[in-house]
Structure 1
Amino acid sequence: MVTVFRVEAIDDRIAEAVRRLVPQLSAALPLPSREALARMAASPSAALFCAETGGEVAGMLSLAWYDVPSGRCAWIEDVVVDAAARGRGAGRALVEAALEHARCIGADRVSLTSSAARSAARALYLSCGFERCDTTLFRRRLGQ
Protein backbone atom coordinates (compact mmCIF):
# COMPACT_ATOMS: atom_id res chain seq x y z
CA MET A 1 0.00 0.00 0.00
CA VAL A 2 1.22 3.48 -0.92
CA THR A 3 0.58 6.50 1.27
CA VAL A 4 1.34 10.03 0.04
CA PHE A 5 1.86 12.96 2.37
CA ARG A 6 2.80 16.59 2.01
CA VAL A 7 6.02 17.39 3.82
CA GLU A 8 5.35 20.12 6.38
CA ALA A 9 8.76 20.07 8.08
CA ILE A 10 12.12 18.57 7.27
CA ASP A 11 13.33 15.95 9.71
CA ASP A 12 16.24 13.49 9.44
CA ARG A 13 14.06 10.88 7.71
CA ILE A 14 12.93 13.25 4.94
CA ALA A 15 16.39 14.77 4.48
CA GLU A 16 17.93 11.30 4.13
CA ALA A 17 15.23 10.20 1.69
CA VAL A 18 15.81 13.25 -0.51
CA ARG A 19 19.59 12.61 -0.45
CA ARG A 20 18.89 9.02 -1.57
CA LEU A 21 16.33 9.91 -4.25
CA VAL A 22 17.86 12.95 -5.97
CA PRO A 23 20.78 10.98 -7.50
CA GLN A 24 18.24 8.52 -8.91
CA LEU A 25 16.57 11.44 -10.66
CA SER A 26 19.89 12.62 -12.12
CA ALA A 27 23.47 12.05 -11.00
CA ALA A 28 24.24 15.58 -12.23
CA LEU A 29 21.92 17.29 -9.74
CA PRO A 30 23.40 18.74 -6.57
CA LEU A 31 21.91 17.52 -3.30
CA PRO A 32 19.74 20.21 -1.72
CA SER A 33 20.76 21.49 1.68
CA ARG A 34 18.50 20.94 4.64
CA GLU A 35 17.90 24.70 4.67
CA ALA A 36 16.75 24.65 1.04
CA LEU A 37 14.36 21.79 1.82
CA ALA A 38 13.05 23.69 4.84
CA ARG A 39 12.40 26.78 2.68
CA MET A 40 10.45 24.63 0.26
CA ALA A 41 8.41 22.98 3.00
CA ALA A 42 7.52 26.43 4.36
CA SER A 43 6.84 28.04 0.97
CA PRO A 44 3.36 29.41 0.27
CA SER A 45 3.77 28.51 -3.41
CA ALA A 46 5.42 25.09 -3.41
CA ALA A 47 4.87 21.67 -1.91
CA LEU A 48 6.99 18.57 -1.52
CA PHE A 49 5.09 15.29 -1.53
CA CYS A 50 6.54 11.95 -0.46
CA ALA A 51 5.23 8.46 -1.12
CA GLU A 52 5.69 5.88 1.59
CA THR A 53 5.51 2.10 1.30
CA GLY A 54 6.26 -0.28 4.13
CA GLY A 55 7.23 2.57 6.41
CA GLU A 56 9.94 3.81 4.01
CA VAL A 57 9.93 6.91 1.81
CA ALA A 58 9.84 5.42 -1.67
CA GLY A 59 9.43 8.52 -3.82
CA MET A 60 8.97 12.26 -4.01
CA LEU A 61 7.48 14.96 -6.20
CA SER A 62 7.59 18.75 -6.09
CA LEU A 63 4.70 20.99 -7.06
CA ALA A 64 5.08 24.74 -7.54
CA TRP A 65 2.46 27.28 -8.53
CA TYR A 66 2.28 30.90 -9.59
CA ASP A 67 -0.24 33.42 -10.87
CA VAL A 68 -0.07 35.05 -14.31
CA PRO A 69 -2.68 37.07 -16.23
CA SER A 70 -3.94 33.89 -17.90
CA GLY A 71 -4.61 32.15 -14.56
CA ARG A 72 -2.94 30.11 -11.86
CA CYS A 73 -0.40 27.65 -13.23
CA ALA A 74 1.14 24.70 -11.45
CA TRP A 75 4.27 22.82 -12.39
CA ILE A 76 5.40 19.35 -11.35
CA GLU A 77 9.14 18.84 -10.92
CA ASP A 78 11.59 16.31 -9.52
CA VAL A 79 9.41 13.22 -9.72
CA VAL A 80 11.39 10.17 -8.63
CA VAL A 81 10.56 6.77 -7.21
CA ASP A 82 13.26 4.63 -5.65
CA ALA A 83 14.44 1.98 -8.11
CA ALA A 84 13.59 -0.77 -5.61
CA ALA A 85 9.98 0.46 -5.31
CA ARG A 86 9.07 1.12 -8.94
CA GLY A 87 6.03 -0.52 -10.46
CA ARG A 88 4.04 -0.50 -7.21
CA GLY A 89 1.96 2.64 -7.74
CA ALA A 90 4.05 5.24 -5.91
CA GLY A 91 4.55 7.41 -9.00
CA ARG A 92 0.83 7.42 -9.82
CA ALA A 93 -0.08 8.18 -6.20
CA LEU A 94 2.35 11.11 -6.14
CA VAL A 95 1.00 12.56 -9.40
CA GLU A 96 -2.61 12.15 -8.26
CA ALA A 97 -1.84 13.88 -4.95
CA ALA A 98 -0.19 16.76 -6.79
CA LEU A 99 -3.14 17.11 -9.18
CA GLU A 100 -5.59 17.15 -6.28
CA HIS A 101 -3.54 19.80 -4.48
CA ALA A 102 -3.37 21.87 -7.68
CA ARG A 103 -7.19 21.72 -7.90
CA CYS A 104 -7.49 22.79 -4.25
CA ILE A 105 -5.28 25.85 -4.73
CA GLY A 106 -7.19 26.92 -7.84
CA ALA A 107 -4.74 26.02 -10.60
CA ASP A 108 -6.41 25.61 -13.96
CA ARG A 109 -3.52 23.70 -15.54
CA VAL A 110 -0.56 21.61 -14.46
CA SER A 111 2.53 21.21 -16.60
CA LEU A 112 5.63 19.05 -16.44
CA THR A 113 8.50 17.95 -18.61
CA SER A 114 9.91 14.47 -18.99
CA SER A 115 13.03 13.28 -20.76
CA ALA A 116 12.52 11.05 -23.79
CA ALA A 117 14.71 8.49 -22.04
CA ARG A 118 12.17 8.09 -19.23
CA SER A 119 9.62 6.04 -21.16
CA ALA A 120 7.91 4.58 -18.07
CA ALA A 121 7.45 8.05 -16.59
CA ARG A 122 6.08 9.39 -19.86
CA ALA A 123 3.61 6.50 -20.06
CA LEU A 124 2.52 7.25 -16.48
CA TYR A 125 1.89 10.92 -17.25
CA LEU A 126 -0.16 10.06 -20.33
CA SER A 127 -2.21 7.56 -18.33
CA CYS A 128 -2.86 10.28 -15.72
CA GLY A 129 -4.43 12.51 -18.38
CA PHE A 130 -1.48 14.68 -19.38
CA GLU A 131 -1.17 15.50 -23.07
CA ARG A 132 1.94 16.19 -25.10
CA CYS A 133 2.19 19.88 -25.97
CA ASP A 134 3.52 21.24 -29.20
CA THR A 135 5.99 23.60 -27.61
CA THR A 136 9.70 23.97 -27.03
CA LEU A 137 11.19 24.50 -23.61
CA PHE A 138 13.90 27.13 -23.47
CA ARG A 139 16.27 27.48 -20.54
CA ARG A 140 19.00 29.91 -19.64
CA ARG A 141 21.24 29.19 -16.70
CA LEU A 142 22.00 32.23 -14.57
CA GLY A 143 24.98 30.87 -12.63
CA GLN A 144 28.66 31.49 -13.29
Structure 2
Amino acid sequence: MTIQQITTFNQKTYQAITNLLPQLDDSITPPSKDFLKNMLASGHSHLFVAVSEDNTIVGMLTLVEYDVPTGKKLWIEDVVVDSPQRGKGLGKQLLLHAIQFAQTRNAKTIMLTSRPHRIAANKLYQSIGFIQRETNVYAYNLK
Protein backbone atom coordinates (compact mmCIF):
# COMPACT_ATOMS: atom_id res chain seq x y z
CA MET A 1 0.00 0.00 0.00
CA THR A 2 1.31 3.43 -0.90
CA ILE A 3 0.10 6.94 -0.20
CA GLN A 4 0.27 9.29 -3.18
CA GLN A 5 -0.53 12.95 -3.62
CA ILE A 6 -2.76 13.72 -6.59
CA THR A 7 -1.84 17.06 -8.15
CA THR A 8 -3.57 16.89 -11.52
CA PHE A 9 -6.94 15.60 -12.62
CA ASN A 10 -7.25 12.09 -14.01
CA GLN A 11 -10.28 9.91 -14.68
CA LYS A 12 -9.11 7.08 -12.40
CA THR A 13 -8.94 9.37 -9.39
CA TYR A 14 -12.26 10.97 -10.25
CA GLN A 15 -13.96 7.54 -10.40
CA ALA A 16 -12.41 6.55 -7.07
CA ILE A 17 -13.62 9.74 -5.41
CA THR A 18 -17.16 9.22 -6.71
CA ASN A 19 -17.04 5.73 -5.16
CA LEU A 20 -15.48 6.73 -1.84
CA LEU A 21 -17.30 9.92 -0.84
CA PRO A 22 -20.78 8.35 -0.54
CA GLN A 23 -19.25 5.85 1.89
CA LEU A 24 -18.38 8.77 4.15
CA ASP A 25 -21.92 10.12 4.06
CA ASP A 26 -24.61 8.92 1.68
CA SER A 27 -25.96 12.46 1.32
CA ILE A 28 -22.72 13.64 -0.32
CA THR A 29 -22.91 14.47 -3.99
CA PRO A 30 -19.50 13.84 -5.59
CA PRO A 31 -17.86 16.90 -7.14
CA SER A 32 -18.01 17.64 -10.83
CA LYS A 33 -14.91 17.03 -12.92
CA ASP A 34 -14.39 20.77 -13.29
CA PHE A 35 -14.66 21.33 -9.55
CA LEU A 36 -12.04 18.65 -8.87
CA LYS A 37 -9.74 20.09 -11.55
CA ASN A 38 -10.00 23.54 -9.98
CA MET A 39 -9.51 22.19 -6.48
CA LEU A 40 -6.32 20.38 -7.48
CA ALA A 41 -5.03 23.46 -9.30
CA SER A 42 -5.71 25.81 -6.38
CA GLY A 43 -2.57 24.97 -4.45
CA HIS A 44 -4.55 25.13 -1.19
CA SER A 45 -6.19 21.70 -1.31
CA HIS A 46 -3.96 18.65 -1.17
CA LEU A 47 -5.52 15.32 -2.12
CA PHE A 48 -3.84 12.15 -0.85
CA VAL A 49 -4.93 8.65 -1.85
CA ALA A 50 -4.13 5.16 -0.61
CA VAL A 51 -3.26 2.91 -3.54
CA SER A 52 -3.34 -0.89 -3.24
CA GLU A 53 -0.84 -3.31 -4.75
CA ASP A 54 -3.14 -3.79 -7.75
CA ASN A 55 -3.06 0.00 -8.36
CA THR A 56 -6.61 0.61 -7.07
CA ILE A 57 -7.39 3.72 -5.04
CA VAL A 58 -8.90 2.46 -1.79
CA GLY A 59 -8.79 5.53 0.44
CA MET A 60 -8.50 9.30 0.42
CA LEU A 61 -7.90 12.35 2.55
CA THR A 62 -7.99 16.04 1.69
CA LEU A 63 -5.73 18.50 3.47
CA VAL A 64 -6.75 22.16 3.14
CA GLU A 65 -4.08 24.78 3.80
CA TYR A 66 -4.72 28.36 4.83
CA ASP A 67 -3.01 31.31 6.48
CA VAL A 68 -4.47 33.40 9.29
CA PRO A 69 -2.83 36.05 11.49
CA THR A 70 -2.05 33.39 14.10
CA GLY A 71 -0.15 31.23 11.62
CA LYS A 72 -0.43 28.63 8.89
CA LYS A 73 -3.05 25.97 9.58
CA LEU A 74 -4.24 22.86 7.85
CA TRP A 75 -7.64 21.24 8.02
CA ILE A 76 -8.24 17.56 7.28
CA GLU A 77 -11.42 16.76 5.38
CA ASP A 78 -13.04 13.76 3.71
CA VAL A 79 -11.06 10.93 5.30
CA VAL A 80 -12.55 7.74 3.90
CA VAL A 81 -11.33 4.20 3.29
CA ASP A 82 -13.21 1.81 1.01
CA SER A 83 -15.38 -0.40 3.25
CA PRO A 84 -13.72 -3.75 2.31
CA GLN A 85 -10.33 -2.23 3.20
CA ARG A 86 -11.22 -0.83 6.63
CA GLY A 87 -9.41 -2.07 9.71
CA LYS A 88 -6.11 -2.53 7.87
CA GLY A 89 -4.44 0.68 8.99
CA LEU A 90 -5.01 2.68 5.80
CA GLY A 91 -6.67 5.57 7.57
CA LYS A 92 -3.71 5.79 9.92
CA GLN A 93 -1.28 5.75 6.99
CA LEU A 94 -3.19 8.57 5.29
CA LEU A 95 -3.23 10.65 8.47
CA LEU A 96 0.47 10.13 9.22
CA HIS A 97 1.31 11.09 5.65
CA ALA A 98 -0.78 14.25 6.02
CA ILE A 99 1.05 15.11 9.26
CA GLN A 100 4.43 14.67 7.58
CA PHE A 101 3.30 16.85 4.68
CA ALA A 102 2.07 19.53 7.11
CA GLN A 103 5.48 19.61 8.77
CA THR A 104 7.08 20.47 5.42
CA ARG A 105 4.64 23.39 5.09
CA ASN A 106 5.62 24.89 8.46
CA ALA A 107 2.04 24.63 9.67
CA LYS A 108 1.16 25.53 13.22
CA THR A 109 -1.88 23.31 13.58
CA ILE A 110 -3.75 20.51 11.85
CA MET A 111 -7.41 20.28 12.72
CA LEU A 112 -10.29 17.98 11.86
CA THR A 113 -13.80 17.24 12.98
CA SER A 114 -15.41 13.87 13.47
CA ARG A 115 -18.93 13.00 14.46
CA PRO A 116 -19.16 11.35 17.90
CA HIS A 117 -20.84 8.22 16.49
CA ARG A 118 -17.73 7.50 14.38
CA ILE A 119 -16.16 5.67 17.31
CA ALA A 120 -13.35 3.91 15.43
CA ALA A 121 -12.34 7.11 13.65
CA ASN A 122 -12.29 9.10 16.90
CA LYS A 123 -10.13 6.45 18.58
CA LEU A 124 -7.75 6.53 15.63
CA TYR A 125 -7.37 10.32 15.74
CA GLN A 126 -6.65 10.26 19.46
CA SER A 127 -4.23 7.33 19.14
CA ILE A 128 -1.95 9.28 16.83
CA GLY A 129 -1.96 12.45 18.90
CA PHE A 130 -4.97 14.55 17.93
CA ILE A 131 -6.45 16.21 21.00
CA GLN A 132 -10.19 16.65 21.35
CA ARG A 133 -10.99 20.31 21.91
CA GLU A 134 -13.94 21.55 23.87
CA THR A 135 -15.53 23.82 21.31
CA ASN A 136 -18.65 24.25 19.28
CA VAL A 137 -18.59 23.96 15.53
CA TYR A 138 -21.18 25.98 13.66
CA ALA A 139 -22.21 25.80 10.04
CA TYR A 140 -24.13 28.39 8.07
CA ASN A 141 -25.66 26.83 4.98
CA LEU A 142 -25.35 29.08 1.96
CA LYS A 143 -27.32 26.84 -0.39
TM-score class, shorter-chain normalisation, is over 0.9
Question: What RMSD over aligned residues (CA atoms) do the two structures have, in Å?
Answer: 0.9
Once the two structures are TM-superposed, the CA of residue 41 in structure 1 deviates from its matched residue by 1.4
Task: State the number of aligned residues.
Answer: 142
Once the two structures are TM-superposed, the CA of residue 116 in structure 1 deviates from its matched residue by 1.0
Residue aligned with 1:135, SS: coil
Residue aligned with 2:92, SS: helix
Q: Does structure 2 conserve the Cα–Cα contact (< 8 Å) formed by 1:40 and 1:48?
A: no
Once the two structures are TM-superposed, the CA of residue 131 in structure 1 deviates from its matched residue by 0.5
Report the counterpart of residue 121 of structure 2 in structure 1: 121
**Equivalent residues in 2 for 1:84-123 (5 A)?**
84-123=84-123
- Say whether residues 1:136 and 2:136 are aligned partners: yes
* In 1, Cα distance between equivalents of 2:52 and 2:121: 19
TM-score by length of 1: 0.95
* In 2, Cα distance between equivalents of 1:40 and 1:98: 17
* In 2, Cα distance between equivalents of 1:89 and 1:39: 30
Q: Percent identity?
A: 37
TM-score by length of 2: 0.96
**Equivalent residues in 2 for 1:1-144 (5 A)?**
2-54=1-53, 55-143=55-143
Deviations 1:38-81 (A, max 9, x none): 11211211101000112211100000011111111110000000
Residue aligned with 1:21, SS: helix
Q: Which runs of 5+ in 2 are unaligned?
A: none
